[in-house]
């Protein structure tokens, strides 16, 4: 496991020592004041990377409720504000398809990003968008995925999976599995090398990617070359107990929104017994036999502890795993394009994807 930690660690001071008695040279006793212990300020703002501060000043944490959800869905793409790159538009064609669902489920939408240049069969990324399992869509990410497909010379298939609470588990992950099956069946027509198909996602999409990797392993129908998880949402128990990381989850995605998202997906309060690992990958007891994993997250992200713990378990299960944790970064930081943490995260991510899509052959 390669773990990247940059910057200093917050100072956790011990309790101030009580006033103690010390003996002077003359033998008399005098009171000595306890040393002053410098404590960090309340909250985690002081830990945020400076070039990430403006975003959280302009965008308060999401307030997810049944009442606000329709508005958040409607403005999802507008909030991201991604712009097309003319060179990428010229290099990559975007096609929308609907593929058959599984077991009588409705058809599943997929947005295909296909490099126009002819060549040998290439690798493919099956992508799941983020949005707490309750919002988001693949269309909002077309500019980013078109650039990525042009940069890496790969196919990207982004799944328009059904959202909670209208569709609860296992609807979304079965939609993703249906697109995976279609991608394998259509590989020749799409000029895809079946041995170089992997899964990728951010936040809830990362959770779906991790769950899909488990489901594909257990069903044994399709092999995956890699799982690329960007601050994945993989553990419904986060934020449900009294033990929490006081420096994580203050910005963008909070424990309250997390509970809302998981409750919508599961149809029950998160953190209870019997949650399927195909809903929350961290619930899996056996992680052996999974494809190589790349995980990155911010040190201030609500998911930092669950992501590190998952990476640790993958390593102990014999799964090649690469982990990056970015100090000063909160959930969704990579949308602040000019931030140093974002540039480092994209460089690490693209490097890992290049290696994975080449079968980890030396460049």
The DSSP code for 63 is -
Residue 12 has pLDDT above 50, yes or no: no
Residue-level pLDDT at 79: 63
Active site residue 331: yes
Tokens of 155: 């196919």
The residue-averaged pLDDT of 256-270 equals: 97
Residue-level pLDDT at 81: 75
Output Rg (C-alpha) for the chain, integer angstroms.
Answer: 23
Residue-level pLDDT at 2: 40
Residue-level pLDDT at 42: 61
The phi-psi region of residue 241 (left if phi > 0; otherwise alpha if psi is between -120 and 50; otherwise beta) is: beta
CA distances to 82, 126, 135, 288 from 163, rounded to whole Å, are 22, 18, 7, 29
- Which of 175, 235, 236, 301 does the annotation list as catalytic? 301
Mention the CATH class of domain 45-357: alpha beta
Helix then strand then coil, in percent of the chain rounded to 5, is: 35, 20, 45
The residue-averaged pLDDT of 160-167 equals: 98
For the segment 318-358, what is each residue's pLDDT rounded down to a tens digit? 999 999 999 999 999 999 999 999 999 999 999 999 999 99
The model's confidence at residue 75, banded by pLDDT at 50, 70 and 90, is confident
Burial 121-136, CB ≥16 within 10 A → b, else e = ebbbbbbbbbbbbbbb
User: pLDDT: is 195 or 38 the higher one?
Assistant: 195
Which positions ≥6 away from 304 have C-beta within 8 Å? 245, 248, 297, 298, 325
Domain spans of the chain, in order of start: 45-357
Residue 3 has pLDDT above 70, yes or no: no
Residue-level pLDDT at 34: 41
For the segment 85-141, what is each residue's pLDDT rounded down to a tens digit? 999 999 999 999 999 999 999 999 999 999 999 999 999 999 999 999 999 999 999
- Which of 127, 324, 331, 334 does the annotation list as catalytic? 331
> Peptide bond preceding 165: is omega within 30 degrees of 0, i.e. cis?
yes
3-state class (DSSP) for residue 73: helix
Active site residue 276: no
Dist. CA 50–CA 329, nearest whole Å = 10
For the segment 286-306, what is each residue's pLDDT rounded down to a tens digit? 999 999 999 999 999 999 999
Residue-level pLDDT at 184: 98
Residue 233 has pLDDT above 50, yes or no: yes
**CA-CA-CA-CA torsion for 204, 209, 212, 213, nearest 10 degrees?**
-140
Residue 31 has pLDDT above 70, yes or no: no
For the segment 45-65, what is each residue's pLDDT rounded down to a tens digit? 999 999 999 999 998 888 899
- Which of 158, 203, 257, 349 does the annotation list as catalytic? 203
Active site residue 46: no
**8 Å CB contact between 363 and 239:** no
Residue-level pLDDT at 176: 98
Residue 4 has pLDDT above 90, yes or no: no
> Peptide bond preceding 170: is omega within 30 degrees of 0, i.e. cis?
yes
Residue-level pLDDT at 361: 59
What percentage of the chain reaches a pLDDT higher than 90? 80
């Amino acid at each position: 496991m390669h773990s990247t930690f940059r910057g200093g660690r917050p100072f956790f001071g011990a309790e101030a020592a009580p006033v103690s008695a010390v003996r002077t040279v003359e033998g008399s006793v005098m009171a000595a004041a306890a040393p002053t212990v410098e404590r960090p300020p309340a909250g985690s703002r002081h830990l945020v990377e400076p070039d990430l501060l403006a975003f959280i000043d302009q965008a308060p944490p999401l307030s997810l409720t049944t009442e606000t959800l329709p508005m958040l869905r409607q403005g999802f793409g507008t909030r991201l504000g991604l712009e097309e790159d003319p060179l990428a538009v010229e290099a990559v064609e975007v096609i929308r398809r609907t593929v058959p669902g599984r077991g009588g489920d409705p058809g599943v939408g997929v947005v295909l990003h296909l490099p126009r240049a002819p060549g040998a069969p290439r690798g493919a990324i099956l992508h799941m968008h983020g949005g707490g399992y309750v919002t988001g869509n693949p269309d909002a990410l077309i500019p980013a995925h078109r650039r990525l497909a042009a940069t890496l010379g790969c196919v990207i298939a982004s799944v328009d999976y059904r959202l909670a609470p209208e569709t609860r588990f296992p609807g979304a992950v079965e939609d993703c599995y249906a697109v995976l099956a279609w991608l394998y069946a259509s590989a020749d027509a799409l000029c895809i090398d079946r041995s170089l198909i992997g899964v990728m996602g951010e936040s809830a999409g990362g959770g779906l990617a991790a769950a899909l990797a488990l489901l594909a392993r257990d069903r044994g129908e399709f092999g995956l070359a890699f799982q690329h998880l960007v601050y994945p949402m993989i553990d419904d128990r986060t934020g449900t107990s009294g033990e929490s990381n006081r420096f994580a989850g203050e910005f963008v995605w909070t424990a309250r929104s997390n509970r809302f998202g998981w409750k919508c997906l599961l149809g029950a309060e998160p953190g209870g017994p019997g949650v399927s690992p195909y809903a929350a990958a961290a619930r899996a007891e056996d992680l052996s036999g999974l494809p190589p994993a790349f995980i990155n997250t911010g040190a201030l992200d609500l998911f930092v502890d669950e992501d590190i713990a998952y990476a640790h378990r993958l390593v102990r299960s014999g799964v090649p795993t690469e982990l990056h944790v970015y100090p000063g970064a909160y959930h969704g930081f990579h949308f602040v394009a000019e931030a140093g943490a974002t540039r480092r995260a994209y460089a690490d991510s693209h490097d890992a994807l290049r290696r994975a899509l080449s079968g980890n052959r030396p460049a």
